[in-house]
Structure 1
Amino acid sequence: MDHQLEVFVTVAETENFSRAAERLHMTQPAVSQYIKALEKSMEARLFDRSNKYVRLTQAGDVVYHHAKEILGLYTNMHALIDDLTGKAGGAISIGASYTYGEYVLPVILKRMKEEAPDIEPTVTIGNTKEISRLVAEYQLDVGIIEGEVGNENLTVEPFETDAMYVVAAPSFFFTTEEKNIAPEDLEQETWVIREEGSGTRRMSDKFFEETGIEPASRLEFGSTQLIKESVEAGLGLSLLSHWTFRKEAKAGTLQVLDVEGLPLQREFSVISRSLFRSKALEVFLREVKEGYRGEK
């Protein structure tokens, strides 16, 4: 059944029987036979087929999401059995929110590879909401996210505190007799923020709510890198993790504003769903908890 589901998932993701056959190193007739057998066992048509496309039916969409969970559990089961007699190795699927995934994770993966070269990580980067969903559906072994997770099926383990500051272009100049800039004095500025579902966006909304300010203008981008470049260009201000702008601050292309009540604190957390962890996953998590602190 596991191979049948693997064929089905591959067809669903490639939306093409020929491409699925190539990826699986099978013939197209063999792929078709697997799909027919699965449709017979489900007593439902799983794909709408034409000369131009192959698309999931409503029933197929249900099977696809469950198949991904089943295959994830099946792979994890094999990894745990292998652990009983072997050293840390094999595949692990890691999800990370943009802040951690783009600015910290590469260092962690390098260290893990040095310690356990037989581990084969695959990485998915997304916002906190996306990574939480993929872990909950067993499509990822583990996720690293910032902020809170509203899913009771996930195990959440905070491991590090992050600090967030308001950054601006070097040309931004603000005069005040006070030691710090009052948040309300920045209300008329343009703020460059992340998209809904992002942990960084959640913190920006929290900052606006707690300070009672309503920015005169907002620009919403789905990339922290794009936000930094926009702020550097003088398009506006942004609230960002200190991990994301260390190089720019050192180079003098971004400045940190001394704003009252900052920095805001938030937690990075490891999220998972499985009750068991492979040796490979344990090695990775050890590097996350030790290596992150080592980079301060």
Structure 2
Amino acid sequence: MKNFDQIDSKYFEVFWVASETLNFTKTAQIIHVTQSAVTQQIKKLETQMETQLFVRAQKNIYLTPAGKKLRFFIENYLDNVDTLIRDIKQSAIALSGKIRYALPESCLLSSHFTKLLNYRQNHFPQLHLQVEICTSEIIYDKVLSCEIDFGFITKKKEIQSIDFIPFCEEQYIWIAKEKSLERLSASEIVEQEMIIYPGMEVLYKKWCESQKKSYPAFSRLKVTGMINHLHGALDMVASGMGITIIPKHCLQNQQKQLSQICKGRKVMNTIYIITLENVKHPKRVEKIIDVFLEMHK
């Protein structure tokens, strides 16, 4: 560990002024202390450095070679402090402003949003969040039109101007009112009455692909309830109106009387953060994306 007691920077001010005035009386007047205090502080600094910093010749004082080296060091030190303070202030300004992003409603029910809010409050309270709840299709359009800085999507599309950053793996499960149904096979699932909500079609297609069999198209499912809100869909399922497919974390974070019902293979999907490709994003945007990515390291 560095020896911080080897030289005490609190004496730098008196030395700096004295090296400019070459007069301890004027130094005392400038920094508003007594002349004896100036003399004492200079002596303490010389003791710490184990060398003489000033010499007296007749009624004048002059810097010794060691004193000149110390003055040069302090000059660089003050320049470095100025640079440091300026950089910190610029960083603070860069990490202020608005962050615009969008995500499916299911992502809002994960822990990521709460973690981001806590991180913002503790580190960058000057950041303003503009968050939109959209389906993946709309999120693509908003990124391409620069309406948002980035977005979370559940379905990857081959678009050359979009940059895809893998975020996390999400598991999809079928749910029903607790104990209202036995655990069903995939073939039995598609015969049930369904609760439909925005984004469910993507989950259903992913589930069908994982089964390696042909199942009815989404448009041919038996629908007994439809709502444009995932929370509402969970309420409908909890009432016994039908079943639906959701990301597993949505069930884990709910207090409703719901249970997983489908037997068979685990259905996983990669969630991506998307941004415009080859675009230099503001530092605040890059930082928040990094914050999200750190959540899964």
TM-score, scaled relative to structure 1 = 0.61
Counterpart of 2:279, as a letter, is L
Q: Does 1:173 align with 2:175?
A: no
Alignment-mate amino acid for residue 230 of structure 2: T
Match of residue 85 from structure 1: 90
1:228: which partner in 2? 234
CA shift at 1:166, angstroms? 0.9
CA deviation after TM superposition for structure 1 residue 92, in Å: 1.7
Contact 1:231 1:237 in 2 (8 A): yes
143-152 or 276-285, which moves further after superposition? 143-152
From 273, 280, 284, the equivalent of 1:276 is 280
Of residues 236, 239, 244, the one that matches 2:245 is 239
**d(CA) in 1 for partners of 2:105, 2:127:** 23
Q: Report the equivalent of 2:60.
A: none
Matched, 1:153 2:161: yes
Match of 2:74 in 1: none
Distance 1:186 1:142 in 2: 35
The structure with the larger Rg is: 2
* Structure 2 counterparts to residues 99-110 of structure 1, below 5 A: 99-103=106-110, 104-110=112-118
Q: How has the CA–CA distance of structure 1 residues 204 and 216 changed in structure 2, closer, same or farther, with 3 Å as cutoff?
A: closer
Q: State the alpha-carbon separation in 1 of the partners of residues 240 and 88 from structure 2.
A: 53
Q: RMSD in angstroms over aligned alpha carbons?
A: 2.5
Go from structure 1 to structure 2 and tell me whether the alpha carbon gap of 1:231 and 1:222 turns closer, same or farther (over 3 Å shift).
Answer: same
> How far apart are 1:245 and its partner, in Å?
1.6
Q: State the match for 2:215 in structure 1.
A: 213
The answer to whether structure 1 residue 142 and structure 2 residue 150 are counterparts is yes
Counterpart of 1:56 in structure 2 is: none
Residues 83, 221 of structure 1: CA spacing in aligned structure 2 closer, same or farther, 3 A cutoff? farther
Gaps of 5+ in 2: 1-86
- CA deviations 1:112-158 (Å, max 9, x no partner) are 33122222221111111111111110111111121213432111111
Instruction: Please name the residue that 1:254 is paired with.
Output: 258
In structure 2, the residue corresponding to 1:192 is in which secondary structure? strand
Contact 1:191 1:238 in 2 (8 A): yes
Question: 156-165 or 200-209: which moved more?
Answer: 200-209
SS of the aligned residue for 2:178 comes to: coil
Q: Do residues 266 (structure 1) and 274 (structure 2) align?
A: no
Q: Which amino acid in the other structure matches residue 115 of structure 1?
A: H
Partner of 1:194: 197
Contact 1:184–1:211 (8 Å) recurs in 2: no
Deviations 1:20-71 (A, max 9, x none): xxxxxxxxxxxxxxxxxxxxxxxxxxxxxxxxxxxxxxxxxxxxxxxxxxxx
Counterpart residue type for residue 214 of structure 2: G
State the TM-score, normalizing by the size of structure 2: 0.61
| Aligned sequence identity (%) | 13
Q: What is the rounded CA distance, in whole Å, between the counterparts of 2:247 and 2:127 in structure 1? A: 29
State whether structure 2 residue 102 is matched by structure 1 residue 95.
yes
* Aligned twin of 1:128: 136
Distance, in Å, in 1 between the alignment partners of 2:189 and 2:128 is 46
Change (3 A) 1:84 1:128: farther
Unaligned runs of 5+ in 1: 1-81, 175-179
Higher mean displacement: 163-172 or 143-152? 143-152
Distance 1:243-1:272 versus aligned 2 partners, 3 A rule: same
* Preserved CA contact (<8 Å) 2:109 2:253: no
> Where does residue 287 of structure 1 map in the other structure?
291
Tell me the CA shift for residue 84 of structure 1.
10
